Structure 1
């Protein structure tokens, strides 16, 4: 497994990370045995960056990770700020501290490798007090590094202006390319590691779905399809599912022959040097090998990257709902 430096954390992490949202059951039920098998497969594949959050399964994802054996190089990133004790307008220093202590208990550690503000409201970021609290909790020894997971370019830019911010987690994929213009260069300038989530646009870019595909009622691709539960951009990158299926059919014609669409989509992300790691979630352990294989694919030709950018601007971006 190839590694990249995660910004000013100094961590060397695998290019493909493991997104652990699925371990909380938010993509449909995942049993204990299946969850353990996924983590075993991640270890075996050399995936050394695992990303979770306190709200994934109300702590279930963190607890499963905490009780599972991990390789010595594995770094665990968690997130805070979306639980009802804080969100949307109850953020206090003590509340943030208690949230982090809960994550540490579930993960079985005294100090968190990386704690990320989890899509907290824009006005909270603009206020800025929460950044000072994170600096203080780092000095206290509760976290080694802190970062932020954001929903929009504006939010990302606010976080990049904070000297203590070590990482930035963003939605970035062939269906959501806007960060490439200004945000990624600024992150490189600030030595902030970029963590990419939703690399396959909630599975759309795997190419496995058609318009008749149904998802489990507990899957956010059912209950948040139109932003009923949280930001619409977190599900299918904000694109209507049926339209997304049509766009994927167009995308197949641009992909190199013989390259699975999912690996093509992951390779596109990895071809941006500012990206530190791509957290690809899986619901089955065998999916990990397919994700890891993308790291061995050749870089896409510059002309194809340009073509994909033009296609996005013309065909995809007008279909995105919600702030970008």
Structure 2
């Protein structure tokens, strides 16, 4: 496993890490702690030392599973959680010092940990990024020992750029993959200049980049890939990275022509990690074999320049017009 430094936090974390939105089972299903324990332990066995969770994943059950496994292991495992999405309504006015402090303390109870290595604001409304008092709270929480570092999870590039103005922000988590390329413009340059760690989420575009979907594929009613394609429940970018499903399928068909004998999910992860500005990628896994596939990316050779050019051509032809300026 290769390790990279998470910005000014100086944490040395595995470039292949683990996101835990669906670690306890598929989207929409009840949380399965046995499944979660197996995946989390397998991830640590494979060299992963950074696990990303959130208080809303499984209504706190993901945090409980992460904390339980981390405490059972002898290795140093860094735990990142998120706060804010439990607010209802999820609007700027709901973001208060009291509410956020309560969320952090709840996450500590869920995980059973004394401190969180990284707490991230969980895709707050854009207006929150213009409220210094919200960011100052986390200095206090750090002084109290409840957190070690602050990051932000964002929907839009502009939110990440604004967050960098706060000196206590050490990382930005954002949607990034072959179908979501805008961040590698200004955001990457500014992150490098300001020593900000970059965490790439939704690396497989909600499964589109696995190459396993077709027009006949169906998703369960409680799966966001069924009910959120147009942003009905939350930001559209979280589902298929905001890409029109049929256009995404056409683009994937073109990718298969470039990589006819390759494992497409591994290619997608490798593409992200070839950007040195990226600290880590956090693919999820609801099955052990998905995790094992992700770990094999460490053994892949870099993509060739002509392959990278072909990927960009597909993005420009099928994806860019609809997605680029919306993220």
TM-score (norm 1): 0.95
Do residues 81 (structure 1) and 61 (structure 2) align?
no
Using the TM superposition, name which of 129-138 and 49-58 deviates more: 129-138
- Equivalent runs, 1:83-162 vs 2, <5 Å: 83-84=86-87, 87-88=90-91, 89-162=93-166
Q: Structure 1 residue 232: deviation in Å?
A: 0.5
Output the CA distance in 2 between the equivalents of 1:290 and 1:274.
23
Deviation readout 1:145-170 (Å, 9 max, x if unpaired):
01000011111100112111111101
Deviation readout 1:15-44 (Å, 9 max, x if unpaired):
111110003656132522211111121121
Deviation readout 1:284-306 (Å, 9 max, x if unpaired):
01211111111211111233323
**Compared CA separation, residues 140 and 85, structure 1 to 2 (3 A):** farther
Output the CA distance in 2 between the equivalents of 1:130 and 1:24.
31
Output the CA distance in 1 between the equivalents of 2:75 and 2:40.
14
Deviation readout 1:291-323 (Å, 9 max, x if unpaired):
111121111123332332243123211233982
- Equivalent runs, 1:170-249 vs 2, <5 Å: 170-249=174-253
Output the CA distance in 2 between the equivalents of 1:114 and 1:12.
13
Moved over 3 A (4+): 23-26
Instruction: Give the root-mean-square deviation of aligned CA atoms.
Output: 1.7
Output the CA distance in 2 between the equivalents of 1:140 and 1:253.
54
Do residues 36 (structure 1) and 37 (structure 2) align?
yes
Output the CA distance in 1 between the equivalents of 2:59 and 2:325.
26
**Compared CA separation, residues 33 and 120, structure 1 to 2 (3 A):** same
Output the CA distance in 2 between the equivalents of 1:159 and 1:126.
9
Q: How many residues align?
A: 323
Deviation readout 1:252-300 (Å, 9 max, x if unpaired):
1223x53211111001000000111100101101211111111211111
**Compared CA separation, residues 26 and 231, structure 1 to 2 (3 A):** farther
Whether the aligned pair in 2 keeps the contact of 1:24 and 1:61 (CA below 8 Å) is yes
Output the CA distance in 2 between the equivalents of 1:111 and 1:40.
21
Partner of 1:8: 8
Whether the aligned pair in 2 keeps the contact of 1:199 and 1:278 (CA below 8 Å) is yes
Higher helix share: 2
Output the CA distance in 1 between the equivalents of 2:262 and 2:130.
43
| Unpaired stretches in structure 2, ≥5 consecutive residues | none
Partner of 1:277: 280
SS in 1 for 2:205: coil
Do residues 261 (structure 1) and 267 (structure 2) align?
no
**Compared CA separation, residues 322 and 104, structure 1 to 2 (3 A):** farther
| Unpaired stretches in structure 1, ≥5 consecutive residues | none
Q: Structure 1 residue 229: deviation in Å?
A: 0.6
